[in-house]
Structure 1
């Protein structure tokens, strides 16, 4: 027997509650807004926070794109697309430029986002102060008092011990000059894309029951020091073996036949569109 779900799986009351949390998050950039995280047909920790935002925001005129660590065809991405499309009927696309609603895990697309688009990032740990303060009550107090010396001390210790900042992903950022925020486990390469983004960026943590946001054209600065500035991953002198793209986030792979190392675009749809001559035109 076929079960008829409500549009976008949730009842309308649940969607309204999640939207209210998202609106509050937009009004206070970088602030973590608690919400009543719903039970989902996937386990918490597998993107339920982002999925709840996507389902609550999806409209009949939307076009959906879902990526997981740069891939449109990973198990996580495919199953999320099946659930959203199966309960809404909205079309899917692999093209960043065509999508109105983009859900992502661990990456911001290479093609610049534009006004009217919404990027939803899946977040496992929304609290940037958690590595050195386990108490939720204390982290709330630190945010309220804008006491972030621990965050800088954590980075300072990394520099003293390893000679560099070792936050290869989820490097903390300062949003709108007020709240230190976890940008989700995106690579440092993607942090600058948040700064004055033309699209709305929403971040959802289902297990931790938090929603937060970076509204369009908001200043986002990666934490660093005057004498030790923030640096994203460098791929200077390297390019994608498949499409030839440079100045993008590249995966380092090994050719099984020759044993040689080569590089390839992490963003698979960008790579295919570049081969067809479309992505670089949009990006440029």
Structure 2
């Protein structure tokens, strides 16, 4: 028996596309879908993978990253599955890809209008920490009643003196729905605001799809006296590339015990290193 293009059967792909269109039409709204079984466990990116498999075409160029790396186990396995069932071209360069699947990061290179970014989402409900009932959270979204999300942030300020959410920081989409932007660091939240590309978010275990269409207003929740702030890396320098002002990983040298920083987006770092090498070669 021959393998179906992009693994999923055509009926499943059509259903996911219809739900994706609804999510695009209502930015930030969680659209339920019939999450399919895949040869990876739920919780390991099945929501994002189903979006990728339903949208990818033979002419697409695929990029898969996991926490900023193209070569992590999760990224390699997902990329292999998509390639083995589609035969599409792959790339590590963000600017070349037409379809990007990512876990935990929005690339440093800004998205273009022809690009789709698919984010893997473990928990799509931003109100789950304050309300366990799915029925009640639906009612709260319908009434635009988001005081629970603000109370959660307020409690952090009262306890710690500042907001402690470093990832999956809730955002208001198109002045209507509060959305959980997957566990991306809050450093990446501003990249969603009036972004030129299409951002899709899939939660396979929770069976939800939501979206941020191009040129959509996305604003992180905050208070007037405690404004939203991203992680500040301006005073940190990447040990490998000399970059600053990008999201970095804090590491420790096993031999010396020294703390150092490395650019998290590995393909972006390699591009900058190659550009520097070419400039030096031309001198």
Shorter-chain TM-score tier = over 0.9
Deviation at 1:235, TM superposition (A): 1.1
Matches within 5 A, 1:227-242: 227-242=225-240
Determine the C-alpha separation between the residues in 1 that align with 2:224 and 2:105: 27
The residue aligned with 2:110 is 112
Aligned match for 2:69, one of 71, 85, 102: 71
CA RMSD of aligned residues (A): 1.0
1:226 to 206, 220, 224: 224
Counterpart position of 1:23: 21
Distance 2:196 2:7 in 1: 29
Q: Distance in 1 between matches of 2:121 and 2:243?
A: 29
Aligned residue number for residue 184 of structure 2: 186
Q: Specify which of 212, 216, 222 is matched with residue 214 of structure 2.
A: 216
Q: Size of the alignment, in residue pairs?
A: 277
Instruction: Indicate the residue corresponding to 2:174 in structure 1.
Output: 176
Which secondary structure state, in structure 1, belongs to the residue aligned with residue 190 of structure 2? helix
- Displacement of 1:4 in angstroms is 2.2
Partner of 1:9: 7
Q: Give me the whole-angstrom Cα distance separating, in 2, the residues matched to 1:223 and 1:196.
A: 16
Structure 2 distance, partners of 1:259, 1:156, is: 37
Which residues of 2 match residues 48-67 of structure 1 at below 5 A? 48-67=46-65
**Which secondary structure state, in structure 2, belongs to the residue aligned with residue 21 of structure 1?**
helix
Displacement, 1:51? 0.1
Aligned to 1:206: 204
Query: Hey, what does 2:246 align to over in structure 1?
Result: 248
Query: How much has 1:218 moved relative to structure 2?
Result: 0.2
Deviations 1:206-262 (A, max 9, x none): 000000000000000000001110000111211111111111001111112222111
**2:93 aligned partner:** 95
TM-score for both structures, normalised by structure 1: 0.96
Q: Which runs of 5+ in 1 are unaligned?
A: none
| 2:36 corresponds to | 38
Alignment of 1:126-205 (within 5 A): 126-205=124-203
Secondary structure of 2:63's aligned partner: strand
Alignment pair present for 1:124 and 2:122: yes
Q: Which residue of the other structure, out of 78, 97, 112, is the alignment partner of 1:80?
A: 78
User: Secondary structure in 2 aligned to 1:103?
Assistant: strand
> How far apart in 2 are the matches of 1:239 and 1:120?
29
CA distance in 2, matches of 1:5, 1:165: 49
